[in-house]
Chain A
Amino acid sequence: MPSGFPDWTPQGDTEETRRLFMRWLEGQEADFPNPPDDSWKQRLLDLVEEFVHPDVVLHNVPVRRPGRDGWVEFLMGLGEAYPDSNTNYDIIMVDGNMAAARWHYTATQMSSHFEHEATGKPVRVDGVMFERFEDGKIVEHWALIDRLSWLQQLGVVDESVRL
């Protein structure tokens, strides 16, 4: 049922993009797990400042304000609510100035997140993302997380809903 395709392919130095993308992901590994103190927040800020453009355009991320600051707030909110999280990247791929990945996220909801009170429930959620790089920084980010499954695991949405 396709009705349209991009009339372009990604351009740019694939191996340079790969190097940046891997450093960005590895940096997240180095800065966590979240200790009970708040020092991880500063390390996250430093990492995001190194790899993300201040005016990054975010798609499908539930941020309260645009750009890099909004993204950092979102990541910190998630880290606070789900401090024991693990992100397993199943595929990482790069094409010109674009990178894409699919991953699964396992974590326990230890404190409130959005309007959902702490449930203590473990979740395992699939996600995918695309990044566009320009001059060594992420300038655009698209994410998709299986939020329906996540909400079902938290007990917020009924298990019977299927699509």
Chain B
Amino acid sequence: MPVVLPEGNPSGDTEETRRVFVEFMVGQERDFPYPPDDLWKGRMRALVQKYVHPDVVVRNVPVRSPGRDGYADFLIALGDAYPDGQTTFNMIVADGDTVASKWTFRATQQFAHFEHGASGQKIEVDGMSFARVRNGKLVEYYSLADKLAWAKQLGIVDESVQL
């Protein structure tokens, strides 16, 4: 198992990075639970514009287009399909310009998401996300959710599959 390590450590203002990330995540709570009207979508886009760089590099998130617009589209599609979704952050660590978080997402799939029709299933999925902040905005965002557990809870993948 050879390993390759990055050169150098994260640099920057750790507490400023932590503040920007938490403010952005708290802002997403403002309209919660998402009402059936579409007003929250405009506010979500404005929030993303405030905290995310237009050319943000988004990794491991199933976006349909790159940059900030694709990321905002993804958040809105998730909110549409899982309007009662709650993300509980249980760890936030920051180091220079880099911040990482560990969370649990609980939600009910009320509408279609990707090619998966509305299942009405309740899900509880663990995830971790990493971001890099420069001049008050996210310039990189990476998120990994336990998609195998998610797919099993929606009934798309058989429970018996292990890895």
Complex contact A91–B14 (CB within 8 A): no
Check: B88 CB closer than 8 A to any chain A CB: yes
Say which size band chain A's interface belongs to: 35 or more
Check: A90 CB closer than 8 A to any chain B CB: yes
Complex contact A163–B3 (CB within 8 A): no
Q: Provide the residues of chain A in CB contact with B87, threshold 8 Å.
A: 1-3
Complex contact A89–B5 (CB within 8 A): yes
Contact partner of A2 (CB less than 8 A), chosen from B25, B161, B162, is B25
Q: How far is the CA of A7 from the CA of B39 in the complex (A)?
A: 31
Question: How far is the CB of B8 from the nearest CB of chain A, in Å?
Answer: 10
8 Å CB interface, A2-57 against B: 2-6, 9-10, 14, 18, 22, 25-26, 28-29, 31-34
Check: B150 CB closer than 8 A to any chain A CB: yes
| Chain B, residue nearest A89 (CB) | B5
Question: How far is the CB of B40 from the nearest CB of chain A, in Å?
Answer: 10
Question: How far is the CB of A70 from the nearest CB of chain B, in Å?
Answer: 15
Check: A121 CB closer than 8 A to any chain B CB: no
Q: Assuming A2-B88, A115-B162, is B93 touching A91 (CB within 8 A)? A: no
Sample (28) of A-B pairs whose CB atoms are under 8 Å apart: A2-B28, A2-B87, A3-B88, A4-B90, A10-B93, A29-B2, A34-B1, A60-B126, A62-B163, A79-B1, A86-B4, A88-B4, A89-B6, A91-B100, A93-B10, A94-B93, A94-B95, A98-B93, A100-B130, A114-B163, A127-B144, A130-B93, A149-B147, A150-B163, A151-B157, A156-B161, A160-B115, A163-B62
Give 15 A-B pairs besides A147-B147, A148-B148 with Cβ atoms closer than 8 angstroms.
Answer: A2-B103, A6-B92, A9-B94, A22-B5, A28-B3, A87-B3, A92-B9, A93-B94, A100-B100, A102-B142, A128-B130, A147-B163, A151-B163, A157-B157, A163-B114
| Closest A-B pairs by Cβ, 3 of them | A93-B95, A95-B93, A3-B86
